[in-house]
Amino acid sequence: MRRHFAAILFFLIPALSAAQQARENGAAELRWLDRTTGALQNIIVAQEAPVKQGPLEIHVHSCRSPLGEVSPDAFALVQITDWQRDETLFEGWMVASSPALNALEHPRYDVWVLRCKTL
């Protein structure tokens, strides 16, 4: 039993100390889709500089990408509101490599993060 516990600790401790470092970027590149018209557009949203796209207002509070190796991953803290109704539709982290993980749920529009950008 003691040997089993020691073996688990031997493999667990390096994993706990190997947290990935991330770089904070100044903007995020997002893709916006209007499902009704088929309009598709890439937009760059600077941190704390909201952009209006149709009835949506998109705020990027943070965009982080892993340091070191080239990685397609980006993590963006995004808030999307319907500015006409003053209603928050989405607030949370979006992950570029897994857009369906935490997505905007809207019957007409899709928004997802592509990558972080430095301005």
Q: How far apart are the first and last CA of the chain?
A: 55
Instruction: Give the HSE-up count for residue 14: Cα atoms under 13 Å, Cβ half-sphere.
Output: 4
**For range 69-94, the mean pLDDT:** 88
CA dihedral 54, 56, 61, 63 (to 10 degrees): -60
* pTM assigned to the model: 0.76
Helix (H) or strand (E) holding 111: strand 109-117
Q: How far apart are CA 92 and CA 112, in angstroms?
A: 12
Q: Looking at 21-30, 64-73, 80-89, which range is the least confident one?
A: 64-73
